[in-house]
Amino acid sequence: MTLQIYGDHVSGNCLKVKWTATRLGIPFRWIETDVMKAETRTPEFLALNPAGQVPTVVLPDGRPLAQSNAIILHLAEGSDLIPSDPYARARMREWMFWEQYSHEPYIAVARFQRHLAGKAASEIEPRLMERGNGALARLEQQLAATPFLVGEALSLADVALVAYTRVAHEGGFDLDRYPAVKAWVARVEADLAITD
Amino acid sequence: MTLQIYGDHVSGNCLKVKWTATRLGIPFRWIETDVMKAETRTPEFLALNPAGQVPTVVLPDGRPLAQSNAIILHLAEGSDLIPSDPYARARMREWMFWEQYSHEPYIAVARFQRHLAGKAASEIEPRLMERGNGALARLEQQLAATPFLVGEALSLADVALVAYTRVAHEGGFDLDRYPAVKAWVARVEADLAITD
């Protein structure tokens, strides 16, 4: 059976999985799953993932897996997207947990409210913008020093962090303030052949 | 050099690291770092972790590492706390990412507000309680079926999830509503020899 990716095409978390599978040459079938239409709340979907979240994949052996970063860590095991050096691998995972805790909840949420739910800039909680800019400043500090988040080569840390950073402007963030981040987004998009 | 753990003793995220090191017989030095006194905002601390968060460790070779779940994944590499089966390992990481995204932001935050910041039950945002109870219900569903989160044996998923679940009552959650969770907390505490 082919890998099945249940995903919403507007979700950076879902696109991470698509990009990783594409980069690694893993064939997959994309099953568009609209969060706004509650397609993640059907009995069929909840049987796959009781958390009712996309992305969720069904592996070729029929077993389900959820959480974007857990999925890409599994798909990429043994590939060049995961550093072989244990410390570099640990730093990669540090960035991936940081992404879900200190980046996505601000940047993806502000982007959702502005771009997808149609709120005005004045309606966005100032804390979201403040924390989001804090996250971008932290990326800038790292990317002014190294071309990728974990040194010289692309890793899953870049895949995870580029997902919502590349669309941060849709949440009202000004990437011109973060030139190293902006250059890195272009580098990662080129490497992953992201066009959408 | 001995492993150094910069941690705040009231933080479940920090205790995860202590329990894992203790369980694995890794010697360490605990450096108490008080978040409320902004000890994570000093220039010295920010040099170790620009995100200004505990736990942060300094490994025996002198290199820093942050993010509780990234730290315990690194410390436990090759140990029995990480399943050798690739799918079980992936499910373990799924729970660990879910913990940071869908459990900690509700249960740890409600607990912080009630227990550490002294707020009354009526001052807690209803959404925190609703989402926190949702997370506990999901744990209950799994733990009614298996003794540990990833099947028959303790893994880092249990270490990560027990940290704030065991003190959920301090946030106003009633663990008596989740009997399988309550029994699992006792099992994990016994296995990790948690007494504090």
Convert the pLDDT of each residue in B35-85 to its tens digit: 999 999 999 999 999 999 999 999 999 999 999 999 999 999 999 999 999
A180 neighbors A161 (Cβ within 8 angstroms): no
pLDDT the model gives residue B151: 85
What mean pLDDT comes out for the span A6-31?
A: 98
Complete DSSP assignment for A135-162: HHHHHHHHHTT-SBTTBTS--HHHHHHH
Q: Per the CB < 8 Å rule, is B98 touching A66?
A: yes
Over residues A135-193, the pLDDT tens digits come to 999 999 999 999 999 989 999 999 999 999 999 999 999 999 999 999 999 999 999 99
Mutation to test the B interface, candidates A94, A95, A109, A155, most B Cβ within 10 Å? A94
Q: Mean pLDDT of all residues in chain B? A: 97
Give ipTM to 2 decimals. 0.97
Over residues B110-126, the pLDDT tens digits come to 999 999 999 999 999 99
The b-or-e profile of B26-43 (16+ CB within 10 A means b, else e) is bebebeebebeeebbeee
What mean pLDDT comes out for the span A113-125?
A: 94
Inform me whether the C-beta atom of residue B70 falls under 8 Å from chain A C-beta atoms. Answer: yes
According to DSSP, the residues that pair with A148 across neighbouring strands are A151
Instruction: For residue B55, say if its preceding peptide bond is cis, omega within 30 degrees of 0.
Output: yes
Architecture of the CATH domain A3-75: 3-Layer(aba) Sandwich (3.40)
Residue of A nearest to B135 (CA): A51
B133 neighbors B168 (Cβ within 8 angstroms): no
Angle (deg, nearest 10), helices B12-24 and B156-165: 140
Q: Mean pLDDT of all residues in chain A? A: 97
* pTM assigned to the model: 0.97
Assign B6 a pLDDT band (cuts: 50, 70, 90).
very high
| Cβ neighbours of B119 (radius 10 Å) | 14
What mean pLDDT comes out for the span B5-13?
A: 97
pLDDT the model gives residue A196: 66
pLDDT the model gives residue B57: 98
Stretch(es) of chain B classified as CATH 1.20.1050.10:
86-192
A188 neighbors A143 (Cβ within 8 angstroms): no
Cα atoms in the 13 Å half-sphere on the side-chain side of B132: 26
What is the CATH topology of the domain spanning A86-192? Glutathione S-transferase Yfyf (Class Pi); Chain A, domain 2 (1.20.1050)
Stretch(es) of chain B classified as CATH 3.40.30.10:
3-75
Distances A20 to A74, A81, A162 between C-alpha atoms, Å: 10, 9, 12
